[in-house]
Structure formats: structure tokens, C-alpha cells
Structure 1
């Protein structure tokens, strides 16, 4: 009986000793299944634009101000127009690169956007106010239009339902300092915004209509005009 008891005690002692021996490790390391995995780095999907397309969106700033933007792309060339329908507008012209748009207007407004394969998302900054947008593709009558009569230009962004937001530009108010509005490269952003940009004569554009039997129709100061659909290749003089 003692022999059996002693043998049993020896066996138990051996098991305890084995349990206290640290596990051996090799030179290679393995990841503990319970350790948190490293988060995958964030990526932004940028897709190439279609060969020819139009986009538009209504957008709001953090302070509640609203703007409407239209964007047209033809190949690498881009034209965009944003306005609030009352007293502010901005035109952007240039080229897109690999699905990205980074443009500055004549009056130092900025447009930065990317194409995600369906929509154009980005921000417009006008007179220091930023507006974020997601512009969906549009067709039919929707898009940007502009027309001119006797030195006065009206421009619109038209929605798919035919409703529009537009602004009329009638020149500049005579200020204390005169500048060549076609050559503002030597001026600071402050000078452009305060001595040129805010001297523009802007007001609501008249209605734009789309009769079923003809092209778009509008009037500027009582003169009938035929607005032009703005494509990516469009440029203002």
C-alpha cells in the first residue's frame, strides 16, 4: 500500500513540476489571437471621370447660407459655376487630373473635388465661406446655362425638374482703386476680394424656360436671349 501511495505522490510531483516549466519559444514571433489587430489605413477612392458628364448640387454652409453648383467635364477640361440666386457667383475653369479637381476662380474663390465613380464630392469656398457638396450626375435639361446681352450676362444652374438658380452680372461699381479685372495676378487675395470681387453688380437672373418645341429661352433686361448649355470646354472671355 505504501509503495502504491509513494508511486502516486511521485507521479503527482512530476506533473506539478512539468506545469511550472515555462514554454519554450523559437526565434520567430507569432501574433496572439486575442491581441487587437492593427486598423487598416484609410483610403480615398478616386475614379476617372467619364469622357463627358454634368453634375449639380444644392449646398449649404455651416452658417446656413446656400449655394447651387453645376460642374461639366469633357475629357480633361472642366467648367463649374456656383451661385446663390441673389448676389453672389463664381466661375471655375481648368483641367481635372485623375478624377480630381482643384481650381481657383478669377476672384480667388476655390473649388476642390473628387469623383468617386458616381458623384462629385468636395468643397467650394466663396468669399471665405465654405460649402460642402455631393453633386449627382444629371442629364436632360439639367446643367449650367449662360447668356449675354449688351454687356450683361445671366447664368443659371438648372435642376433635373427644370427649376433653376441664377445670377445676373452687370459690370462693376466704380471703386476708389481701379484694376484690370482680366489681370489680377499681382494682387493679394485680400485686395481681390475687397477691391474687385465685392464691386461686382450682381442680382437675381430672370427665369429660364425650356419650351418643348425649341431650345432654352430667357430674357436679360427685357431682351430675349437663347442661353447656351455650358460644357467642360466652355470659357468666359
Structure 2
């Protein structure tokens, strides 16, 4: 009887040594392994300043040039684009989470995204698309406008003090009878092709900043241009 018990004890000892007896080894094959920790989520929301001004010079693929200024105050946006000779567009509206998608009175379009110190987007004016990357500006740089005797001059001023501006002097007669200041009932096609071309536009007089105060003239009349903000609105 002792001869049979001794081999059995030896066999069980071997099983312990190999870790094959369930519940007796810390290296059980059924132990769960931990998964790598997921990377932390990063926020992709745009940063929209409470108040900011942006500007850029733009060149279309065909070589046409335009300059744009954008002002943001809270959710409100005002923007002005002009070529310094015979075309301009004012845009008034709102931004939502940094996204801008607005039309001018004469159905030009502005689409842009604001993120911190940069605004990127495109302007469509008179059938020409201008892409831009506009950097934030401060000091005297921004959009200005002034009026005298029913004539309005507007400028986009760069950080170095140079400016691009256009003067608007009303409308010429056209073949169709439109009220150019009440265009809501007309189609984009009619406005772009029958009203927009009737605007009397020309280069604005230079804008200067003696003692950091804006000065210019409209048809020889001295004016003091005003800096435009995101809340600016006019007809």
C-alpha cells in the first residue's frame, strides 16, 4: 500500500510545481488583462473673442483685388469689402459659434469662420470669388465710414496706416423702376443685374490720422470718419 501512495504524492507535488492545480497559482490563465486607457478628448470648438477686428487684402484667381474688414462684437458682425475704385459691399448680420454666413443688400455673400486671432472664408462679389485669411488688428486699423451731403465714403485701414476706400454717391437711372433702398421683394438675379450696377461708385479721398484722429473729405467737404464695430448698421 505504501508503494502506491508514494508515487501519488510525488505526482501531486509536480503539479503544484508547474502551477497546474486550479486555485493554487497566481498566474491563472483566466486572469483579465487591462486595456490601454483611451486618450483624453480634445475640444474643437472655435474661440470667438467678445470683440475683435480683422482685415485682409484679397486677390481672385483672375487677378481682381479686394480688401475686407470684419468687426465682431458678441454675436453681431459688420464687414466691409471694397477694391478702392468702383466696387464695395457692406455686410451686417450675426455669427454663431464663430461661423458667419451673410448677404449684403445687393446680394454679395460673405462666408467665414472665426477662431481666435484669425478669420478665414470667402467673399463673392459681382460673380467673382475672393478667398481670404484675415488676421486680427488693433489700434487705428479697421473699417471707417463718413457721410456728407448724402454721399458716403468708406475705408479699410491696415495696421501700417494705408487704406483702401470707395465713395458711394447714389444711383443712376435704370431701365426698370426699383426702390434701391427697399429690395426685399426682388430676386437675387434682379438685384445683382438691375440694381447693383446702377450704384455710382468711385475712389474715396485718402484717410489720414493726425494726432491719431481720422480725417478725410467728401467732394471737398472735411469729414471725421467713424470706426465701425460689429454693431454698426445702416441702410
Fold shared by both chains (TM-score > 0.5): yes
- Report Cα offsets for 1:127-178 as digits up to 9, x if no partner: 1110000000000110000000000000000000000000000000011112
- Counterparts of residues 10-29 of structure 1 (less than 5 Å): none
Q: Shift of residue 46 of structure 1?
A: 5.0
Aligned to 2:66: 67
Aligned to 2:157: 158
Is 1:217 equivalent to 2:211 in the alignment?
no
- Counterparts of residues 36-47 of structure 1 (less than 5 Å): 47=46
Is 1:208 equivalent to 2:207 in the alignment?
yes
Q: 2:226 aligns with which of 225, 228, 235?
A: 228
Unaligned runs of 5+ in 1: 1-44
Aligned to 1:191: 190
Q: CA–CA distance in 1 between the matches of 2:152 and 2:222?
A: 13
TM-score scaled by length of structure 1: 0.79
Q: Shift of residue 230 of structure 1?
A: 0.3
Q: What is the root-mean-square deviation of aligned Cα atoms in Å?
A: 1.3
Q: Shift of residue 182 of structure 1?
A: 2.2
The answer (yes or no) to whether the contact 1:46–1:100 under 8 Å persists in 2 is no
Q: CA–CA distance in 2 between the matches of 1:153 and 1:185?
A: 22
Aligned to 2:106: 107
Residue correspondences, number: 193
Q: Give 4+ residue runs of structure 1 displaced > 2 Å after superposition.
A: none
- Report Cα offsets for 1:168-207 as digits up to 9, x if no partner: 0000001111211222122122211111000000000000
